[in-house]
Every structure is written in C-alpha cells, then in structure tokens.
Amino acid sequence: MIESAIKTAVERITGLDTYPLLLPDTVQEGATFQRISDPQVGDGLRRTGLSEVRIQLSLYVVDRYTSLLQFDGALWNEWKGIIHGQLEGQPVQYVERGGIQQGKTTLPNNRIQYRLVRDFIFTVPE
C-alpha cells in the first residue's frame, strides 16, 4: 500500500513524525497524509492496471518557516527521480507534484505554527 511507503519516506526525509489524516491534539509539529483520489489509468478502451493516487501531504512546524520549505524541497528532490522505480520497497511508475497551500496559526504561547500542504500524484499498480 502506497500510504505506508509515503509515511516511512516522509519520516526518513524530514524527521517529522507522520500521521494519517490529522495531527494528534497534543502534537504541534509533524506531517499528515491522506488519499484524495485514485482513478485508474486508461485510454478509454482498456485499463492499464495502474492508478494515479493523489496524496495530500501536510507539513507542520513551529517557528521554522524556512525548514518547512526545505522539507518540501527535499521530498520533491527525492521523489521526482522515481520513474519505473520504488518508494520504500513499493513499486511506483511515476511521481508528479501538484498544488501548494500555505498557512500559519498563532499558538496560545505566541509561537507560530506554519503549515504547508502539497499534493503529490503517485502512479502505482492497483
């Protein structure tokens, strides 16, 4: 399953604990991921046995905006080279980088939690 490979890769590359869907209530720094869509790849007449799995990855850090950008760059630097390869032992045909959103929240202790949300599309066997 591609999600387990993504979790392992994000933790290895960024050093951030990574969770499905949401950060736990007691955690202020980390990463989350969720599957947004997974349409089959085909030409309209036949199926290829591949899916394009769109994963939304959210990175959260406190008071370290530059680190947030570096984490995003480090993920893309590693994943953009995957062509008919593997991600943490899982077969991946191709990786595309999608849209980005950023935000910040002022925490009760006047520190700032920065958030970067990025979509990645992984073409993988079904």
pLDDT in tens, 22-72: 999 999 999 999 999 988 887 677 778 899 999 999 999 999 999 999 999
d(C-alpha 78, C-alpha 57), whole Å: 15
Task: Tell me: pLDDT of 119 over 90.
Answer: yes
Whole-number pLDDT of residue 28: 95
The total of structural domains in the chain comes to 1
- The CATH number assigned to the domain holding 82 equals 3.30.70.1700
113, 60 contact by CB (below 8 A): yes
Whole-number pLDDT of residue 112: 97
Cβ neighbours for 13, distance < 8 A, ≥ 6 positions apart: 71, 74, 75, 78
Whole-number pLDDT of residue 27: 95
Whole-number pLDDT of residue 65: 97
11, 71 contact by CB (below 8 A): no
pLDDT digits (tens, 9 = 90+) for 9-23: 999 999 999 999 999
Residue 23 lies in domain: 2-125
In this prediction, residue 96 has a pLDDT band, given cuts at 50, 70 and 90, of very high
Whole-number pLDDT of residue 38: 86
Task: Tell me: pLDDT of 83 over 80.
Answer: yes
